[in-house]
């Protein structure tokens, strides 16, 4: 992961959220939601500010952050690709889309973000367009009836429109 993807955390903002939301462990989820909605993930620096300035311990805060799949501990790319792995998409070839996307982005095993920070890919539950399965959502655009090849073509078109470069 390139360092440049790390967010610059504004301490006063985080302190403001703590003041508004609360300092007890029950405030963990809304605090993490605020942080993630600001930075796209949960920067370690922001987590430390919460831990230092509240009654929430490190293990409580990280426990919540890792329990809920909505939270990310790593920076996110400039564009987000969601590959649907709901039942309909799974049955109709979501795995092929994963392979195709991973190849297009040049991702190695365990990596979810392209090294240049352009794209992050994640697997999600049903996105509600099962009749179009298999589906992926690139930023907010739903693409359906995909094959490995059309998924890659769609990504290439998206990259071109957004001045991004794919690895393959
Ligand atoms: S299972 Fe993929 S859209 Fe419903």
Model confidence pLDDT, tens digit, residues 60-100:
999 999 999 889 998 889 999 999 999 999 999 999 999 99
**Cα dist from 25 to 11, 39, 46, 64, 110, whole Å:** 20, 21, 16, 10, 31
Characterize the bridge pairing of strands 119-124 and 79-84: parallel
Q: What is the pLDDT of residues 100-132, one digit of tens each?
A: 999 999 999 889 999 999 999 999 999 999 999
- The tokens describing 55, both together, are 């009654």
Confidence (pTM): 0.77
97 lines ligand 1 (CB under 6 A): no
Q: What is the pLDDT of residues 55-66, one digit of tens each?
A: 999 999 999 999
CA 139 – ligand 1 centroid, Å: 17
Atom of ligand 1 nearest to the CA of 127: 3
83 lines ligand 1 (CB under 6 A): no
């Amino acid at each position: 992961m390139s360092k440049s993807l790390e967010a610059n955390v504004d301490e006063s903002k985080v302190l403001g959220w703590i003041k508004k939301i609360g300092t007890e462990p029950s405030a963990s989820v809304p605090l993490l939601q605020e942080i993630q909605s600001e930075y796209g993930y949960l920067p370690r620096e922001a987590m430390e500010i919460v831990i230092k300035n509240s009654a929430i311990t490190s293990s409580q805060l990280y426990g919540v952050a890792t329990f809920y799949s909505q939270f990310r501990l790593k920076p996110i790319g400039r564009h987000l690709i969601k590959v649907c792995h709901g039942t309909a998409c799974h049955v109709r070839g979501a795995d092929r889309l994963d392979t195709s996307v991973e190849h297009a982005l040049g991702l190695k095993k365990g990596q979810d973000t392209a090294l240049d920070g352009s794209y992050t890919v994640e697997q999600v539950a049903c996105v509600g367009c099962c009749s179009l399965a298999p589906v992926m959502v690139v930023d907010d655009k739903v693409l359906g009836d995909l094959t490995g090849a059309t998924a890659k073509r769609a990504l290439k078109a998206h990259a071109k429109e957004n001045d991004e470069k794919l690895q393959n």
